[in-house]
Amino acid sequence: MAETRNEALAAWIKAHQMSAAELADAVNNAIGDLTGKPGTTSERTVFRWLSGENQWPQARQRTALEVVTSRTITALGFVPRGKHKNVPAPPAPPPEDTSVQRRRFVGAATGTAAAVAVPLVSTASRPCRVGTADVIRLRDHIENLVELDAARGGHTALERAALAGASEALGLQKLSTTNRVRQRLFAVASDFTATAAWSLIDAGQLDHAGRHLDRALTLAGMAQDSEMTMQVWNLRAMLARQRGDYAEAVAAAQAAQTTTAVHRSPIHASLAHARTAIGLAHAGDDRAALRSLGRAEEAMSKADKDTPLPVWMAFYGPAELHSITAIVRDVIGHPAEAEASSYRALAALPGAYRRNRANATVRLALAQLHQGDIEQACTTSGDVFEIMAGAPIPGRIRRTLGDFQRDLITMASSTHIAHEWMDRYRTEWSTP
């Protein structure tokens, strides 16, 4: 019988940026925690799992794999053999339900700011041996924060939680026994710190975001992690644009283009070129902006849609590129094209991306306003309040709504509908 590659396990390893040797090390450590004696799983063993040569690991290895990955053994692609074949396999949980700890963390965090700000691991429970399992656990907490960001947007409690995670990662790297684990802990600390910066950018609290990004970039360099370096430059470009420093926005986006992550991944390249296009458009270089936009579209067409993306890149795809195209087109004076791109973005956006939908809706309203369709623009912008009903409007969307009000006053300050919109602006939008 032909061997079948274990794609589920391979996907998990790739998503967690692990090597076969590191997974073997994590499994052995888990066996040690469970039995008091470290396991003997080798890199070769993991290769046999991946190739399908070994489709059903030893019992203690199965248990350890479930501990390390927070997934059932069958969800990891392993197939029972012999007398196990007639035992129905438990259904594979969806990605967001693989960890009870994650659900508890997010539930607590969305309940109170104090809950999200607690340290991830108490001093009393700090492990004596630091290894790959600690890296995996901390990466899971980063995913927790991404889920919290999706639910509530950027806020100071999220910033504090992210900085607490960075602090723990840096503390653990001092205890790590291998250079590889140490570098990965630096990368995790960089990711947490970048998440703290993003929470401030999204909330429109820009004063300290740059300091976090400086620190995140330093940690990414210490980790020698191209993915994290790309993430930080992307955020730096966003921050600079919000501050109105368009030359820095272009420079940061162009720095992102030089990273190894961009060179090896078309979708990363697409994002870097798209971010460059926004900066160039605001800087007044229309032709260069359109060239960069074309490169972003070309790179997107080459991206493998089935390749798993890192957590921080989950937002980027065709819908987000349409949204960025709408911004670029509107800024360079092509509002009709911007309106069309906004509609394409809204059609492609997943339903769960509420903030992205609200942001695309504001951009659609601006494009309509800039074509002189004031009544339709006011109606469209009013949809933002319905989209975000029951949740705070993030600071960056409030800024865009502020741009809408400014242009509305400039173009139609004497109209009845403009006065109605401004009444709603004061009551529903201006208060964070």
State mean pLDDT over 49-58. Answer: 88
Number of residues assigned to the chain: 432
The maximal CA–CA distance of the chain, rounded, in angstroms, is 81
Give which of 173, 225, 220, 306 is closest to 17, Cα–Cα.
Answer: 225
Give which of 270, 312, 363 is closest to 146, Cα–Cα.
Answer: 312
**Would you say 74 and 89 are in contact if contact means Cβ atoms under 8 Å apart?**
yes
Helices 286-302 & 318-331, crossing angle to 10 degrees? 170
**Would you say 319 and 361 are in contact if contact means Cβ atoms under 8 Å apart?**
no
Residue 327 has pLDDT above 90, yes or no: yes
HSE (CB half, 13 Å, CA atoms) of 133? 21
- Per residue in 176-185, pLDDT (tens digit) is 667 888 898 9
Per-residue model confidence (pLDDT) at position 353: 83
**Would you say 94 and 70 are in contact if contact means Cβ atoms under 8 Å apart?**
no
**Would you say 246 and 223 are in contact if contact means Cβ atoms under 8 Å apart?**
no
- Return the DSSP state at 393: P
Q: Is the dihedral of CA 54, 56, 61, 67 positive or negative?
A: positive
**Would you say 9 and 50 are in contact if contact means Cβ atoms under 8 Å apart?**
yes
**Separation between Cα atoms, residue 127 and residue 134, nearest integer Å:** 9
The mean pLDDT value of the chain amounts to 83
Non-local (6+) Cβ contacts of 206 within 8 A are 200, 239, 242, 243
State mean pLDDT over 387-400. Answer: 84
Which residue matches tokens 């969305």?
110
Count CB neighbours of 38 within 10 A.
15
**Separation between Cα atoms, residue 46 and residue 350, nearest integer Å:** 36
- Per residue in 266-304, pLDDT (tens digit) is 999 999 999 999 999 999 999 999 999 999 999 999 998
Helix-, strand-, coil-residue percentages of the chain, each rounded to 5:
70, 0, 30
Q: How would you class 73 by CB atoms within 10 Å of its CB: exposed for 0-12, middle for 13-18, buried for 19 or more? A: buried
Which residue matches tokens 């539930």?
107
- Per residue in 71-114, pLDDT (tens digit) is 888 888 898 875 444 444 444 444 433 333 333 333 333 343 33
Q: pTM for the whole thing?
A: 0.75
State mean pLDDT over 249-275. Answer: 96
Helix (H, G, I), strand (E, B) or coil at 414: coil
- Per residue in 344-382, pLDDT (tens digit) is 999 999 877 888 899 999 999 999 999 999 999 999 999
